[in-house]
Every structure is written in C-alpha cells, then in structure tokens.
Structure 1
C-alpha cells in the first residue's frame, strides 16, 4: 500500500477531472500514475482542500489531515512540499517517505537538503534535467537520494491524419509560463504573415497579467483533454517561444509530439531538449527572425515528429513499480 499526500492542490481532485479539463499537469500525472498502479497496489490519497472521502479508480481519496493518523501506509509519497514530508517523518518514523518533486524550489528552500537528509526522505524528479538542476541547487548540502521518473502522457495518443491549418498556432499552458513573451513573438511573426492566428488554451488555475493581447489571438479557455488534443491536431505547431519559465518536464510538449505536432520552443531552458527530442524544433526563442524563418518553412513543409515511448503510461508506471518495490536501503543509495 502507498499513500499519496498532496498538500499543494487548491481542492480535492479525482479521475473524472481528467476528462472535464482545467486540471494542472501535476494533478493529471498523479491521477494517471495512481490509476495504473491501483491495478496491483492499494493507493490512498490525502489532498488539501478535500472535505469528504471517496473511492475512485485512482485509489481512496481522503482529506489532508488524515495523513498524520498512525499507520496510513508503509510508503508515503509527498507532492512538492518538502516541509510536509519532514513533518510526516515525525508522525510516521518507520515509513518510507518519497518527495515527488514537480517544481524548481526557490532560493529560500536551500535548507531542504539538510532537512530531507535528516528525515531520510528520497526525492523523485520528473526529468533527468530536473534532477540535475536539483543536485546543482543543493550541492552545498548533504547528499540526497535523487532519481527521476518522467511524467506520463495520456493513453492512445498518436497521429490520426487530421489536416492541419498552416496559419493556426497553439499555446496550451497556464499564462504564467511565458505567455506575455509568446504574445510578443507572435505579434512580430504576424507582422510578416498577417494570416497567422494564435489559439490559447488556458487551464484556468492561475490568473496572470500578460499585457495587451495581440490581434489574431483567440482564447479557448479550459478544455476537456480530448478537446485539447483535437486542437493540437489542427494546429501548425505548439507555439512556445519563451525564455522565462523553465519546465521541469513539459507534459503538453510531450503530448503534442505524440500526436505529431511540432513544437517551436527555446533550446536552452528546462527539460525542453529532453522532451522535444526530434531535431529541428528548438531554437533561440528571443530571435524573431529565426522564429519567422521556422514558421515560414513549416507552413510549406511541416516536419514529422514522433512521441517518446519512455513517456507512455505503461513505461512510467513500470518505473514507479520498480522504485516502490525496491528495498528502502537500495533506494537510499541512489545518491548523486
């Protein structure tokens, strides 16, 4: 049995939210992985903002405060909140505790290395580049057991022959992930190609000031996952030329690759190069001339891209099973 503790979500969530839309990438990943693991492992979730218990395909859902009751599970996986992981160690001295990190910790979190080492907490990041970045960030502290398991894409994603519109670009992320810069790059590209349009699919979980909206932009709002995939199939590319937000994984980019949609994004940031592995998609996202040249070429001859089999749900859930079944002593030897 494992316990998933999410102290960061705004409200409780369950598998039906995957279809309804408006769910963040972290929550979607948690639900997909635990639904797969629940076939042979008992899973219980403890979620901030949840006021009632329910049984779901991803496991039993309970309020966050119940996680501190005695004997909740021999293995506890905590989402993002390292301080909560350390508090849980006091409540569960004999449990194996894993911090499943989906974010880059801020500078004020440097003490986390010593705290996690003292509490015997392992860390799982969501990409190799994320793990490397975390090791660098914590290099002045004691060594930690840091590994990575990629986030999974939804099942069944593949190209289906849907015709694409060479004038239609798509941005499909929360606006804090560089949308103001994306607007600036789109405005410059549209000055040269006036027929370009940009569809913005915003999951809606975070309000963000992105400045003036350029002509040619359409807001799609929070879409159900199937509707978002349909938007991906129609577009020329995922338009993500921003240099400010560093993706720890980039689930949207992984899913667009799986359905055959190219990604136009910055080369030297976050996990972009790890997730967008087919050549010719990454560039200097501050270079308007390079962006225009890429779009012009793709409008005539769009590249063929493919998904990475390492990101499939079966591959990812197998990685989690290997980690969860490994003896704790072995797992704690996975030090940078």
Structure 2
C-alpha cells in the first residue's frame, strides 16, 4: 500500500520538526501524526524541496494540477479540503482510491458547502469518499448532500482527529490536577474563533476579580493586533509542548466561542486530556469532544440581537458590551468560574477513541477496505 496525502492549501510547509518545535494549526498537526503513523508521504503545494516523506509540490495549485515532476507513486490518495484538487488527483491516479479529507464547516448556505455541493456529483462519479472529523461534521455534510439524488452523493465517513498530548500517542488520562492556578484561564485558538468576544468578556470578569489572567496563544497562521489589556498575557505562537504545559496549569480553557462551530476542536479535546476542563458553549462538535459534565453553558440570550446591532454599527460595541455585562450578560460565566475556583471544578479526561493508535487503526481499516 502506497499512501499519499496531498495538501493543496496549507498556509506554510510543515513536517515533523514543525510539530516538535513550532506553532502549528490543528489540521496540519493531525496530518503529520497520521502521515508518520501510516508511513504516508505528504505532497505540499508550497514546499520547494523534499524533506523525507514531505514532498515538494510548489508548482501545484489548489486544483491539484501541474508540478513539472513525475507524480509520486500512490495506490491510495487522501486530499485535504479542496474538492477540485481531489478530482484532479483522480486524473493523475486513475487506478488509485481517493478520499477528500474535510476539516472545515460545510453546512448548507456556507461558501465551502456551496463548493462541495457543486462538485458532489463528480466526486461521487469518480469514487471519491468524504472523510469528516466528527459525527457533528459528518451529519452536517450529509444534510448538505441530502438535496442531491442518492447516486450523486459521495460516501461520507467519520474518522476522528487524534489527540496526542505527550508525543507518545496517548489521548491523556485526565483527572484532577493538583497544581493548577485557580486564576489562570487559557484561550489557545485562532483569533477568528471568538477571540474578540472573549476579550470583551474577560475585561468585565477581570474588573470583578483582578487576580484573573487570560493567556492567549494561536497557531500563527492568522495574526491579530491586540491592544494591551489588564490581565491578558499574549504568548503568541508557541510550540505544542508549551501549550500543553500551560493547559495543565490552568483553571480552565476559556472558550466562549459561539460564532464559529468547531468540526472537531482539537484544543478542547487536548484540554480534557490533560485534566483541564473547558468553559464553552454547546455548538459544533463541543459536546461530542468534551469528556466530563458541567463544561457547557448556554449562550446569553441577548447575543443574537446584540451582534446584529454591533455588526451594523461596530463603533457601538465597546460601550454596548459594557452595558450588556452590567445588565447580567456575563453572570453565567462569572458564576461558573467562581464555582470552579471554590472546589467545584469538573473532573475531566481524554477519550480512548481519540488516542493516536485508535485513530490510525481506523485509517488502516478504511484504507485496507478500499484497497484497489
């Protein structure tokens, strides 16, 4: 079996060293873990030189074509994210089995959903299967494809992203950490996943309890210009092992994201795997990924109306957020944090189904079952 993973959209080239010592997005970290575990090669559109199993594909575009070099041999090809690239690989590898590995939201009415729907019939005809990263994600894709005749719907399956918090393939045992800081909160995600709201909310919480500190970090592929704010510690883009150390020592991962549903939510699963609860909302795959009761709270009812106003008149947001919090919009967050600080912190842990070897076994079973 010769497995090739094609990444036509990565923001920057990556390899095993990126996982060990650099900042990396969840999708790229997942690709590295799966490629290393399956002994697969990874063709990257923006890599100029081969480096071990990570192959140069600097001339290929998002449609998967070109390259000016002989295509690597492959019997099984897994293409990340782009439907057109999967179809291009079908032309390049007419005898191989092809999968399109989806990591992004593809719901009805979304840009990526519209793109997938436009390519769906051709993907089905080409025998391209769609790999989703959670049951939530797979359900969303199936809902999208339900508008098509059955013969025009590609096969949809779910294989979870692996959680490896210590570099040894373990999903984490969890349990209560004895040495966490009860005033330390952590937001370790890309800025577009609710950071703006998180900072507005933390400003109010910090006024109530000046001892609170919010640690920020992000994968580095989306930068954010942040003004200095009391209690906020911006770590920037830091290596994975440092992120895990910070998560282990935090009261919780503070993730009041209600605007960008996670298709998996690697940092949520990693937090639980090191024994740290997550304060989050039940959108996307959060309820599926988190392991332990009491981590999800309701989105304040006023948010939908407030966001419509702030979207139309953004200059009103700072004063509007202050007013909403004074009227009690932040009370649920404050009460939960206070309860956790006073001994009611949930006991959480990793899930065995996310362990690297378990996920690799799922991939091996899928690849073997589809052997040409």
Length-normalised TM-score, structure 2: 0.81
Q: Please give the alpha-carbon distance, in whole angstroms, between the structure 1 residues aligned to 2:299 and 2:184.
A: 19
Correspondence for 1:316 among 359, 365, 368: 359
Structure-1 separation of matches of 2:76 and 2:59:
17
Task: Quote the residue 1:185 is aligned against.
Answer: 201
Q: Deviations over 1:263-311 (max 9, x none)?
A: 00001x1100000131100011435211111101000112211111111
Q: Who is 1:47 aligned against?
A: 44
Instruction: With the length of structure 1 as denominator, give the TM-score of the two structures.
Output: 0.90
The answer (yes or no) to whether the contact 1:74–1:94 under 8 Å persists in 2 is yes
Q: Does 1:24 align with 2:34?
A: no
SS of the residue 1:320 aligns to: helix
Inter-partner Cα distance in structure 2 for 1:158 and 1:29? 20
The equivalent of 2:138 in structure 1 is 131
- Deviating more after overlay: 115-124 vs 295-304: 115-124
2:333: which partner in 1? 291
Indicate if the aligned counterparts of 1:5 and 1:79 stay in contact, CA closer than 8 A: yes
Cα distance in 1 between the residues matched to 2:211 and 2:139: 42
Aligned counterparts, 1:77-226, within 5 A: 77-105=78-106, 106-107=110-111, 108-109=114-115, 110-141=117-148, 142-154=152-164, 155-156=169-170, 157-159=172-174, 161=177, 163-208=179-224, 214-226=229-241
Contact 2:292 2:346 in 1 (8 A): no
Segments of 5+ residues of structure 1 without an aligned counterpart are 330-336
CA distance change for structure 1 residues 71 and 17 in 2, over 3 Å: closer, same or farther? closer
Residue 61 (str. 1) matches residue 55 (str. 2): yes
Deviations 1:70-120 (A, max 9, x none): 562111000111110011112222211100111113333131222311322
Partner SS for 1:293: helix
- Of 280, 287, 294, the residue aligned with 1:265 is 280
SS in 1 for 2:279: strand
Question: Please, which of 255, 270, 276 is the counterpart of residue 240 of structure 1?
Answer: 255
2:138 and 2:339 map into 1 onto residues whose CA distance is: 35
Does the CA contact (< 8 Å) of 2:6 and 2:44 recur in 1?
yes
Select the structure of larger CA radius of gyration. Answer: 2
Q: 1:117 to 1:123 in 2, by over 3 A?
A: same
> C-alpha root-mean-square deviation of aligned residues, in Å?
2.0
